[in-house]
Amino acid sequence: MLHAETKRVKVALITGASGGIGASVSKTFSAKGYVIIAHYGSRTSKANEVARDIEASGGICYLVSSDLSTDTGVSDLIDRVKKILSENPTYHLSTLINNAAKLLSPSFAETEYSDFDSYIAVNTKAPFFLTQGLIENMSTGACIVNVSSASAHFSSPGDITYAISKAALESLTRNLAELLAPRGIRVNAVIPGFTDNGHPGFDKKPVLEYMSTFSVLGGVSEPETVADAIFFLASDKSKRTTGTFLDVSGGSILGARAGRKHSVKELL
């Protein structure tokens, strides 16, 4: 018989954890003592690198692969997370970070039905149903952080479907914040701008110069900066914060930019 209360272990589920912001978030939360459930799509080698880095630092990382563009993929991820939690009674799902996203959508004229459905599925529908499916495994003090985008805050006709999907994610954030507040669960979002995720485009001077025009502070962000903002929203320092949006875009949402093109895709 146990004579003392068993200490609960905080678990963070991060979607899209195989690179860029997701990888940095996984490592940041692991360094703070969280057990990590790192979701990824098809980038197995990158996901393995994240897990190795976490384990080399003494952390615990579970890798789960699923396709969040499909209903089955979302359901599979929910089932896998529940299985991990049930097999480890001390584990407590403390934080859900909806980071996985499909980027650089086609132009308005080029977008087909399947494109639209795919972007909405990954960027909006998956966070909706992951939250719905896992909320019973979260309790008072838990939180959800959604990763939005500065493109939801200004016109982006060259990336229109992506921008729409992120605007919808912000609406989901606001509505869930009110819905889950009686349960003591907070829901917030971060708003990154262009963030160096290792894409070869970030090595091209014209691309970087163009991206820099979106931020009043200039330059682009590092994934670690966004990860720190996400951890802040998940921490007790934000225990009275819900339904809000933390801009880490360098002021991109102010809309002050020049030399505008329809999409960064034109420079890649």
Tokens of 262: 């329809």
Average pLDDT over residues 238-249: 95
pLDDT band at 255 (very low <50, low <70, confident <90, very high): confident
pLDDT attached to residue 155? 78
Q: Is the pLDDT of residue 4 over 70?
A: no
- Tell how strand 61-65 and strand 91-98 pair up: unpaired
Structure-block tokens of residue 148? 């939005």
Across-strand partners of 62?
Answer: 37
Q: Please, where are the H alpha helices in 121-214?
A: 126-134, 160-180, 205-212
Is the model's pLDDT at 11 over the cut of 60? yes
Q: What is the pLDDT of residue 253?
A: 85
| 38-87 pLDDT, tens digit each | 999 989 999 999 999 999 999 999 999 999 999 999 999 999 999 999 99
Angle (deg, nearest 10), helices 20-31 and 44-56: 20
- Rounded to 5 degrees, φ, ψ at 131 are -65, -45
Give, as one character, the DSSP assignment of residue 33.
T
Q: Does 42 or 256 have the greater pLDDT score?
A: 42
pLDDT at 198: 72
Whether domain 9-196+223-253 has CATH 3.40.50.720: yes
| Contacts of 22 by beta carbon, 8 Å cutoff, 6+ apart | 14, 15, 16, 38, 40, 97, 99, 100
Question: Which two structure tokens, joined as six digits, stand for 35?
Answer: 């057990």
- Give tens-digit pLDDT for 175-230: 999 999 999 999 999 999 888 777 777 767 777 777 777 778 887 778 999 999 99
How many CA within 13 A on the CB side of residue 240? 0
Confidence of residue 267 (pLDDT cuts 50, 70, 90): low
**Non-local CB neighbours of 112 within 8 Å, separated by 6+ positions:** 106
Domain range list for the chain: 9-196+223-253
Mean pLDDT of 228-253: 94
pLDDT, tens digit (0-9, with 9 covering 90-100), for 118-154 = 999 999 999 999 999 999 999 999 999 999 998 888 8
- One-letter amino acid at 216 equals V
Choose the weakest-confidence range: 1-5, 90-94, 110-114.
Answer: 1-5
What pLDDT is attached to residue 121?
A: 97
What residues are annotated to the active site? 162
Which residue from 29, 18, 54, 41 is spatially nearest to 198, judged by alpha carbons? 18
pLDDT, position 190? 97
